[in-house]
A and B are shown apart, each in its own frame.
Chain A
């Protein structure tokens, strides 16, 4: 599998369309999933997905066959997603300043209820851009607040605040769905 992947990558480096298609087929579900998690609506996700894939194929010659290729792809996609979100700063993106009084809300543990992935995705995408981005980076990309702060050019405090608020919103949504679940 690794050999095949390397072969496809080398084909892509030669701008071979078959190789590009193979890489696309292999990684598009994961990468499209990431785009859906980061972008509010599907059209935006599609746009970023396309643009990021084009960048991938344009810059694939920079891949040195060191480390995970999927990780390399994800980095490109996340950078592109953040770049796109940064352009949408109208929504007071990352302007939140950390406020210890309001942002240290005790995280409540919730009952285990089955929630479909579609629902979870919906909850994530309903978050404001800034919260969603921090939440994604922290929870899914396992980044630390310091790294997130550097990446998003915000303070660590803002990153923590955004995460807390995101969790708070999600908590509410899940509790709401729990109620609905019980009623049903």
Chain B
């Protein structure tokens, strides 16, 4: 007996190949899609962070503004009170910040949980989608085929290029179901079971599933075949392995009980290179087919193993040609069954050659009309697309903080920032992919807080009258409409040294209804995310004007302008959540040119808007 080394024995394993289970591709796809999910998760996280920031901003600003406020100073003990109040405020502040941090942590934990749940759901959904997509792709995978026309005459339906599709829609001619039955009836003693999953078919390119199946086909062993693939019967002129394998397994009148387990298939590369050449001579038309009743469907499967190696036990197909004479029978019976169900086909079978020619012409005409209508539809769709999504409606709300950068003073005291809310609607019109204009209506509030403002309260001082020196003295500016309060500037207060002078926080709010006109430029646009830069101007109409000292209303600010104008600059980060619906976060800065006359006021306003954008 011939001797050989271990390495020689195992040399056949060098080119060992094995078909991976079909589900692995789906899992790979899923993993390939994962980074996107991460991106999405990041987006969600950033949106959540922005939201939290936006919600926390007012409270933070509130505390910072309160720090500077000293409420009451009386009877010359000014300095001590100030120190005490500041300390108290500081402790309050630290407590509140701690509380806020705790809240933050809790919220972030909640967010984490919810987002992880979402991720899981998404991944599940995606995997399902992917699977279905894969299935679709597989079913649509093209094959090298010749066209076989099943013309169901009276129905006027033409199922050309049947072989290009893996399955024939049952709605069209019901061949699918019929053919399946046909296969089952033709199985005779074969116990092929088609349990179907996915098939990876790369026709003409050594599709590995097909190859593995073909191995079984060519294998003459009496194995139990279990074809793991749902494949419809479609008479195929080409060398599609899937069809070939199934058809042949039905027609080879062997007592095989093949069991193809695709998952554990050992397909040696050197032995599974099939040269399958089918010689099916199917007629081009069923009419001719039936009329002549001389079907010569000879399906030949020439599986050759050009590189068959010494391993006799490998599943190597020997050269064999299997003539398929029964294919004729099966196709004819398919047609029979079909004709039973559909009388139209039976009628069509009786048609003469002339009729069939006329019918073909009619069908061509129909085709032409259909093609034209399709083109028209496409044009319409293009037009619609070009028109679609041009407009967008935005609804938003947010927080704003009014500030000044000039260290402006009122009555000798520094103007502090003030926090307010804003909301509105905006419509946007896209000029092109990059540029858009927008306008709308927005309710916005510009505010200012001034600490340590000295004033005299006429309500408390019975002897004090509004027609007093201070009121009439032009050197003291009076900004409130309510004359019962007299504001005193720092310099006057020192001179006055009166016990009646109180000190408090002066709050001023100017609420406007604004109409902005903005230009947007898209700086980033990818899939679901859009980032725009917006700039423009606005005109505002004063709708509310209030001034208060220590929470006591002083009426209106007499210096407020009824109309205000300004400029705005913002950036919109938009994320598409559903079809035409987007959510967005919009940090913005506004500049008000003329909120008040003869008085300094916060003219800058930082804002953070959150909103919903619907394209239409």
Q: Residues of A at under 8 Å CB distance from B? A: 17-18, 20-22, 24-26, 28-30, 32-34, 36-37, 46, 49-51, 53-54, 57-58, 107, 109-112, 114-118, 120-121, 124, 139-140, 167, 170-171, 174
Please indicate the chain B residues that have their CB under 8 angstroms from the CB of A116 in the complex: 266, 311, 313-314
- Number of A-B residue pairs, CB cutoff 8 Å, is 123
A118 contacts which of B3, B6, B31, B266 (Cβ < 8 Å)?
B266
Given contacts A37-B16, A115-B313, contact A22 B3 (CB under 8 A): no
Alpha-carbon separation in the docked complex, A57 to B455 (Å): 74
Alpha-carbon separation in the docked complex, A171 to B31 (Å): 41
Verify B10–A120 contact, CB threshold 8 A: yes
Alpha-carbon separation in the docked complex, A46 to B266 (Å): 15
Alpha-carbon separation in the docked complex, A118 to B267 (Å): 10
Verify B24–A140 contact, CB threshold 8 A: no
Please indicate the chain A residues that have their CB under 8 angstroms from the CB of B206 in the complex: 26
Verify A121–B16 contact, CB threshold 8 A: yes
Closest to B12 in A: A117
B10 contacts which of A24, A25, A51, A170 (Cβ < 8 Å)?
A170
Alpha-carbon separation in the docked complex, A58 to B268 (Å): 29
B32 contacts which of A33, A54, A117, A139 (Cβ < 8 Å)?
A54
Alpha-carbon separation in the docked complex, A58 to B35 (Å): 10
Verify A49–B13 contact, CB threshold 8 A: no
Whole-angstrom distance between the Cβ of A182 and the nearest chain B Cβ? 11
Alpha-carbon separation in the docked complex, A111 to B9 (Å): 10
Verify B27–A110 contact, CB threshold 8 A: no
Q: Residues of B at under 8 Å CB distance from A? A: 1-7, 9-21, 24-25, 27-29, 31-32, 137, 200, 202, 205-208, 266-269, 311-314
Verify A33–B137 contact, CB threshold 8 A: no
Given contacts A25-B202, A49-B24, A174-B6, contact A117 B1 (CB under 8 A): no
Please indicate the chain B residues that have their CB under 8 angstroms from the CB of A17 in the complex: 29, 137
- The secondary structure that dominates the A interface is helix
Verify A117–B16 contact, CB threshold 8 A: yes
Alpha-carbon separation in the docked complex, A99 to B433 (Å): 73
Verify A57–B32 contact, CB threshold 8 A: yes
* The 3 residue pairs across chains A and B that have the minimum distance between CB atoms: A29-B17, A109-B3, A32-B20
Verify B21–A46 contact, CB threshold 8 A: yes
Please indicate the chain A residues that have their CB under 8 angstroms from the CB of B202 in the complex: 22, 25-26
Verify B20–A117 contact, CB threshold 8 A: no
Q: Can you give 12 A-B contacts (C-beta < 8 A)?
A: A30-B17, A33-B16, A33-B17, A46-B24, A50-B27, A54-B32, A110-B4, A110-B9, A114-B311, A121-B266, A139-B10, A170-B10
Whole-angstrom distance between the Cβ of A116 and the nearest chain B Cβ? 4
B18 contacts which of A21, A26, A32, A167 (Cβ < 8 Å)?
A32
Please indicate the chain B residues that have their CB under 8 angstroms from the CB of A124 in the complex: 10, 13
Please indicate the chain B residues that have their CB under 8 angstroms from the CB of A20 in the complex: 32
Whole-angstrom distance between the Cβ of B226 and the nearest chain A Cβ? 17
Alpha-carbon separation in the docked complex, A178 to B236 (Å): 46
Alpha-carbon separation in the docked complex, A106 to B557 (Å): 106
Please indicate the chain B residues that have their CB under 8 angstroms from the CB of A28 in the complex: 19-20, 24-25, 208
Verify A36–B31 contact, CB threshold 8 A: no
Alpha-carbon separation in the docked complex, A109 to B4 (Å): 5
Alpha-carbon separation in the docked complex, A37 to B18 (Å): 10
A111 contacts which of B2, B24, B27 (Cβ < 8 Å)?
B2
B3 contacts which of A18, A50, A58, A112 (Cβ < 8 Å)?
A112
Verify B5–A107 contact, CB threshold 8 A: yes
Please indicate the chain A residues that have their CB under 8 angstroms from the CB of B3 in the complex: 109-112
Closest to B1 in A: A111
